Amino acid sequence: MSKFKKKKKGVPAVNTSALPDIVFMLLFFFMVTTTMRETELKIDSPRLPSATEIKKLEHKSLVSTIYVGKAKDTKYGTGYNRIQLNDKIATADDVPAFILRAREDVAEKEIPYMTTSIKADRESNVGTLTDIRLKLRDVNALKLSLSTTKANE
Amino acid sequence: MAKRDLPEINAGSMADIAFLLLIFFLVTTTMDVDSGISKKLSEKPPPDYDPPKIKEKNIFEVNINRNNELLVEGERMELRNLKEAAIKFIDNGGGLGNSSEDGTPGKPCDYCKGEKSPTSSDHPSKAVISVQSDRLTEYGTYVVVQDELLKAYTELRNRLSKERYGMLYTELEEQYKDNRKNEELKKKVEDIRNAYPQIISDAEPTSAN
């Protein structure tokens, strides 16, 4: 009898109509948390030294980063003392201009809280660091962070 | 008239599009937090500035040469011994502290557990650590030395905090960070900080050519 026909066999298809919703949710999460790399590295990614007594940098908008390391382009030599500001190789003499430029973007009352983060390769020289520090002191950018990775005790 | 039905839009590939975007953001996202050793530079001194005279015994001199070797107080030292030596120096407490602003003379350090040797530092608030490096010293070594010196301070602060408040200074600081409005915590943190202030000065590097 047709009324009692045997049911069709086979696994029913899984309902995937909610899949886009799930994926969108993930998508929005990553869209919100993402921060684009603002600068392209012209130097080899610095191998940061590691330390234990470190502090996290808060307020990313108040941090300007100076990279020190080996230039990717060999015309700048193979030493580990090239300085990168924004997206070009520069010298310590360009540091004040870089800091002053960064100050234009923040409110005046926040300028004293601005921090300069130096990401230097562990093989670069202290001399380079000193040059940068002297220039930073000239423009009164006194908060400094020597970027390191967290070492295991 | 025939009823014209709008054909349904096929949404089956929407998931694919969303996935594509998702993967793009997954790849470009960077979640690393920038962390490092924080330093406060001193302000540029005026040209006629006369640096304050600091007694020789209140200065702990650390030299790093261009071969990344350490010379501490005139003697060669291995990096692993630096922390102990720094603690011994800071915690010596052989004399009186800084006199306060109203002119009352400073008190001796009653929380120091050092040797109270008259040839080492008077008081933690007077003890200056001076790091001098060569221009050709490796940055990595320089950072490690700074780290060791900071560790010495942290250890002393932890000890004092444990005695006074029953918890480590690092924990105290952590709690304060979560709750900045808490006056009591703030007072504790500042108390410990003032007891062992971090005075690390970077001398001009030697530029032997």
Query: Least CA distance to A113: which residue of chain B?
Result: B40
Q: Is a pLDDT exceeding 70 seen at residue B119?
A: yes
For residue A143, tell me if it sits in a domain: yes
Residue predicted with more confidence, A20 or B140: B140
For residue A20, tell me if it sits in a domain: no
Q: Is a pLDDT exceeding 80 seen at residue A53?
A: yes
Query: Which residues on chain B are in Cβ contact (under 8 Å) with A124?
Result: 138-139
For residue A92, tell me if it sits in a domain: yes
For residue A56, tell me if it sits in a domain: yes
Q: Is a pLDDT exceeding 60 seen at residue B114?
A: yes
Q: Is a pLDDT exceeding 80 seen at residue A22?
A: yes
Mutate: best of B14, B37, B68, B200, partner A, most A CBs <10 A = B37
Cβ–Cβ gap B40/A150 under 8 Å = no
pLDDT reported for residue B8: 78
Query: Which residues on chain A are in Cβ contact (under 8 Å) with B18?
Result: 20, 23-24, 27
For residue A39, tell me if it sits in a domain: no
What is the average pLDDT score of chain A? Answer: 82
Minimum mean pLDDT range among A7-16, A43-52, B89-98: A7-16
Q: Which pLDDT tens digit goes with each residue over B47-70?
A: 777 777 788 888 888 888 888 888
Structural domains counted in chain A: 1
Query: Which residues on chain A are in Cβ contact (under 8 Å) with B64?
Result: 126
Residue predicted with more confidence, B93 or B137: B137
pLDDT reported for residue B209: 46
Domain span at residue A57 reads: 50-150
Residue predicted with more confidence, A31 or B65: B65
* DSSP line for chain B: -PPPPPPPP--TTHHHHHHHHHHHHHHH---PPPEEEEEEPPPPPPTT--PPP--GGGEEEEEE-TTS-EEETTEEE-GGGHHHHHHHHHT---SB-PPPTTSPPPPB-SS--S---TTS-S-TTT-EEEEEEBTTSBHHHHHHHHHHHHHHHHHHHHHHHHHHHSS-HHHHHHHHHH-TT-HHHHHHHHHHHHHS---EEEPPPB---
- Span B78-91, average pLDDT: 87
Q: Which member of A26, A53, A68 has the closest CB to residue B37? A: A53
For residue A113, tell me if it sits in a domain: yes
pLDDT reported for residue B208: 52
Distance of residue A148 Cα from the nearest chain B Cα, in angstroms: 5
Q: Which pLDDT tens digit goes with each residue over A75-131?
A: 877 788 888 888 888 888 888 888 888 888 888 888 888 888 888 888 888 888 888
